[in-house]
Amino acid sequence: MKSTLRILAVTLLALAGWQAVVTWGELPRFILPGPRLVFSTLWTSRALIAEHAIVTAIEVLLGLGLGAAAGFASAIALAASPLARSLLRPMLVFSQAIPVFALAPILTLWLGYGLWSKVAMALLIIYFPVTSAFFDALMRTPRGWLELAHVMNATPGRILWRVRVPAAMPGFASGLRLAAVYAPIGAIIGEWVGASQGLGYLMLLANGRAKIDLMFAALIVLAVLTLALHAAVDTACRRLWDG
Question: Using CA atoms in the order 18, 23, 29, 30, what is the torsion angle rounded to 10 degrees?
Answer: -80
State the fold for domain 34-242.
MetI-like fold (1.10.3720)
Task: Provide the whole-model pTM.
Answer: 0.91
- Per the CB < 8 A criterion, the answer to whether 133 and 174 are in contact is yes
Query: CA nearest 93: which of 139, 128, 136, 138?
Result: 128
CB–CB of 126/59 below 8 Å? no
Q: Of 121, 138, 120, nearest to 73 (Cα)?
A: 138
CA distance 175 to 127: 9
Positions in the chain short of pLDDT 50: none
Those residues whose C-beta lies under 8 Å from the C-beta of residue 158, and which sit 6 or more positions away, are: 149
How far is the C-alpha of 15 from the C-alpha of 98, rounded, in Å?
Answer: 38
Helix ranges, the chain (H)? 2-25, 35-44, 46-80, 82-95, 104-111, 115-138, 143-151, 156-159, 165-193, 199-208, 212-237
The pLDDT, as a whole number, for residue 2 is 63
